[in-house]
Structure 1
Amino acid sequence: MNMESGFAGKIAALRGDDDAAGAGRRRWLRIAAIVAVLAVLAGAWMVMRGGKDPAPAAAPTKTIPKVSVVVPGMRAVTNVVTATGTLAAKREMPVGVAGEGGMVAEVLVEPGDWVRAGQPLAIIDRQVAAQQTNQSVASIGVAQADAALAQSELERARKLVDRGFISQADIQRRTATRDAANARVALARAQANEMRARMGRLVIRAPAEALVLQRAVEPGQIVSSGSGALFRLARGGEMELRAQVAEQDLAGLGIGRPAAVTPVGSTRSFTGRIWQLSPVIDAATRQGTARIQIAYDPALRPGGFAAARITSGAVQAPVLPESAVLSDTKGNFVYVVGSNGRVTRRDVRTGQVSNDGIAIVGGLMGDEQVVLSAGAFLNPGDQIKPERVALPAARS
């Protein structure tokens, strides 16, 4: 009984081992099948691509950039100096009281009026002066009567001196009396003329043909020679711009140079010419004054601010667009292309800046190939392919 049970147990154990071995074989078969499927798929993919491995990527070749260049040549460049300043009368005439003064009776003009030479501007009360003038005129008559009487007495005495009734000494006294009377006549006339002149000075007159700029007096005001200017006139209405010009620019200007003056707030320009240059330079601002004469126009108001463009001559120089001129801590420069296609730095000295570009007054001859606009991306020695482009025509 025990033997049968032991034998049955061994048989069962052997069967279990066989089952485990079978399960392991089946697992490996499944793995092998999966690998085979993957291999087939890989082969199919290779067939679709032609069955060749991809060629290795070629090494990139360095390309030489194309860069626009210009040959500036030489052209006439008008040198223009810009300046600002204050408008004023070219010859301002302050007019005040010339005599003793008094109370203003009447003011006859307003700012902006044109006046002739000698035209009354204001009248000071003349009642007292008129009476004094009348008195002086009356004293002339008195003196003339005394002189006539002395002359008559002298003539009668001369007739009697031959008869011995009057001595020669009496003749001399009567002659002296006549001469004194005539002197009093001359004195009375001089005093009358003085009073007329004083009364005339109570009428304030324009010293020349002018434009009235300012009026600082009203009727009823008490004025005297110490009252200052009652009127300010611009002789002939002539105006000027007192332009402040930098020291280095002032040296290139001359008398008669044309200028265009534009008042602030206006789009109109007025033509003028320099008539005087300051002989001194302000030590603080390093500027001098160029006085530009302008014909009268109501738009030109003394005291206003204006800008001027002064033509100071012309020179022959290359002109480049602003994009071609670079700058750094060493100054202004351009890139010039050599015959080998490599760029080199060329330091330049700039001049007049206008709508046409920047004038190069030093550093270029005008026949070089200058990089137009790509200078910021280049370095000295870089290789480029220059493509020449034309410069725009100069503006008139």
Structure 2
Amino acid sequence: MNYESNFSADRDTVFVEGRPSRRKWIIIAAVALAVVLAGLWFAFGRGADAPAAGAANANSDAPTVTVSVPGRQTVQRTVSATGTIAARREMPVGVAGEGGLVTRVLVEPGSWISAGQVLATVDRSVQAQTAAQLAASINVARADAKLAQSELDRAQTLVERGFISQADIDRKTATRDAALARVRVAEAQLAETRARNSRLDIRSPAAGLVLTRDVEPGQIVSAGSGVLFRVAMGGQMELLARLSESDLAAMPVGAQATVTPVGSGQSFKGEVWQVSPVINPETRQGVARIALSYDPELRPGGFASADIVAGARVAPVLPESAILSDERGSYVYIVGRDNKVARRPITTGTVTSQGIAITDGLSGNEQVVLRAGGFLNPGETVKPKRAGGNG
């Protein structure tokens, strides 16, 4: 009986050990599910994230460039020129009369003179005697005329009594008229002589500044002696600025200018008062005349430079570092919304202290690469960073 009981117990044990338990099946199922999910993730999830990761890596490798949005501002068009300083109205003064021996020179270069002022005197001793002779001849003519008038008056009283005929009255009237005419002739001759004598003095035709003096006391001068003095009317000066044909065409009368003489640290304000209507066919240049007020630093014949404000326009302004050029012309690189670089052809204008004006090609709202544009290629992806900011 004990034998049978032990046999039954052992049989039950063997049966339980040969059959798998429920817990073990659960573990196996969980492991299998994990393997399936891992495979799905590697097949789909990781593949979907790969492009994004690649894009992120690409952006992290893109070069950083400094950009700026230039906007638009008023740019003054300044034309630089050089030229010669001269008197605005130069008056050459010489001998107006018959000339003679210069007795005195009364002015020096740099002297301010008034209109009609005597600059030099010429000996007039002979002419003075001639004038005295003519003055005496006037007195003789007047005496003859007075006598003729008296005789005519007496004859008119006698004609009423019948002692003198009317023919005698007519002769005496003619004698009186001839005497009066001789008086007028003598007076005219004296006036002419005095006018000639007054022209012996060399006078200034207008007020101004004496520039040169080419006569000395003791010198014999005549109408063929040439220019003895040069006078700047009113002391006004000007710069004869030479401009290219294109600059001259755009130069308005009244344009403001700043003139700096060579060797002088001082600048002077002026204004274009005349633009030459003629272009030199050899140099293709013309002259803009810039009026200047008198100053001792402005010496006629001297050389000077000028900056002329020829107008203004509203345009974007970029630094020189942002502008590139090649055989196709000038251009800049702009950065679009996708952070890709694009080439933009431009036309440059006036160079100012702030930069170079762009007359065509930009609206002013673009992100323009300021530096290192020569190392970029169109279509390249970059990381833009605003100038003066963090991006």
Into which bin does the TM-score normalised by the smaller protein fall?
0.7 to 0.9
Which of 343, 351, 354 lines up with 2:352 in the alignment? 354
Aligned to 1:283: 281
Aligned to 1:298: 296
Contact conserved, 1:70 with 1:390, CA < 8 A, in 2? no
Aligned to 2:55: none
Whichever residue aligns with residue 182 of structure 2, its letter is: R
Alpha-carbon shift at residue 329 of structure 1 (Å): 2.1
Alpha-carbon shift at residue 61 of structure 1 (Å): 11
Aligned to 1:156: 154
- Residue 97 of structure 1 aligns to a residue whose secondary structure is coil
Which of 380, 383, 389 lines up with 2:381 in the alignment? 383
How many Å separate the matches in 1 of 2:139 and 2:335?
104
How many Å separate the matches in 2 of 1:328 and 1:131?
87
Aligned to 1:262: 260
How many Å separate the matches in 1 of 2:388 and 2:276?
44
Aligned to 1:313: 311
Aligned to 1:65: 63
- Residue 185 of structure 1 aligns to a residue whose secondary structure is helix
Which of 188, 198, 202 lines up with 2:186 in the alignment? 188
How many Å separate the matches in 1 of 2:314 and 2:351?
14
TM-score, normalized by length of structure 1?
Answer: 0.81
Instruction: Map 1:13-32 onto structure 2 (within 5 A).
Output: none
Whichever residue aligns with residue 69 of structure 1, its letter is: V
Aligned to 1:343: 341
How many Å separate the matches in 2 of 1:312 and 1:193?
56
How many Å separate the matches in 1 of 2:327 and 2:306?
31
Contact conserved, 1:103 with 1:220, CA < 8 A, in 2? yes
Whichever residue aligns with residue 276 of structure 1, its letter is: Q
How many Å separate the matches in 2 of 1:286 and 1:344?
40
- Residue 351 of structure 1 aligns to a residue whose secondary structure is strand
Kindly indicate whether residue 169 of structure 2 is the aligned counterpart of residue 171 of structure 1.
Answer: yes
Instruction: Map 1:70-149 onto structure 2 (within 5 A).
Output: 70-149=68-147
How many Å separate the matches in 1 of 2:282 and 2:382?
50
Aligned to 1:235: 233
Alpha-carbon shift at residue 157 of structure 1 (Å): 1.0
RMSD: 1.6
Aligned to 2:223: 225
How many Å separate the matches in 1 of 2:210 and 2:326?
55
How many Å separate the matches in 2 of 1:157 and 1:197?
41
How many Å separate the matches in 1 of 2:84 and 2:253?
19
Whichever residue aligns with residue 212 of structure 1, its letter is: V
TM-score, normalized by length of structure 2?
Answer: 0.82
**Percent identity at matched positions?**
62
Kindly indicate whether residue 249 of structure 2 is the aligned counterpart of residue 251 of structure 1.
Answer: yes
- Residue 112 of structure 1 aligns to a residue whose secondary structure is coil
Which of 364, 367, 383 lines up with 1:366 in the alignment? 364
How many Å separate the matches in 2 of 1:156 and 1:179?
16
Whichever residue aligns with residue 239 of structure 2, its letter is: L
Alpha-carbon shift at residue 327 of structure 1 (Å): 1.5
What number of residue pairs does the alignment pair up?
332
How many Å separate the matches in 1 of 2:364 and 2:388?
14
